[in-house]
Amino acid sequence: MNKKIFFNIVIQLLTFIRYGLIALTGLIMLALLILLIGGKPIQNSLQLDIPLPIIVIILIISILLVACFIYMATILKKLLINFQTGTIFSTENVVYTKIILGTLIVWTSIQFASAFFLSYLDLKNVSDLYDFSLSDYFINGVLIIIALLAKMVLEKGVLLQAENDEII
């Protein structure tokens, strides 16, 4: 019973986070649209020294980062629902872990590329979304390793289960 409650809480938390991130994506898209429609007067009123194309690129990268996280949360929710129902070693779960692994790699690559891009432009204090430190990359690396190990364990479990079913 405790396991079921735990999975329900985590699934509801993932749903809540996902909807919050979808709202955040909508706000970023609204900001992007407003900048594209009336960018120069807004840029002048905010007294920003950053050129408008750079602001647009930063907003697009922000949308990509948040979209990766939304996608990963959606897939993780599906994986947890399968675990909750007792479906552990299935090819569907292997596919989900591969998707999570790929999304984590894309997420980390976008983070690294955007940090490199912002440091190349010598931009400081753009957003907390771009505040990456070595510990952030370390955490991403650990998550990638965990996802890779989960994929390998689930693949092996599917093979052993199929082999066991053939024997019976």
Expressed in percent and rounded to 5, the helix, strand and coil fractions of the chain are 85, 0, 15
Per-residue pLDDT of the chain (168 residues; tens, 9 = 90+): 588 889 999 999 999 999 999 999 999 999 889 888 876 666 566 666 777 788 888 889 989 999 999 999 999 999 999 999 988 899 999 999 999 999 999 999 998 888 888 778 777 666 655 666 777 788 889 999 999 999 999 999 999 988 888 876
- Encoded tokens for 60: 């697009």
Q: Which of 74, 65, 68 is nearest to 132 (CA)?
A: 65
pTM of this structure: 0.83
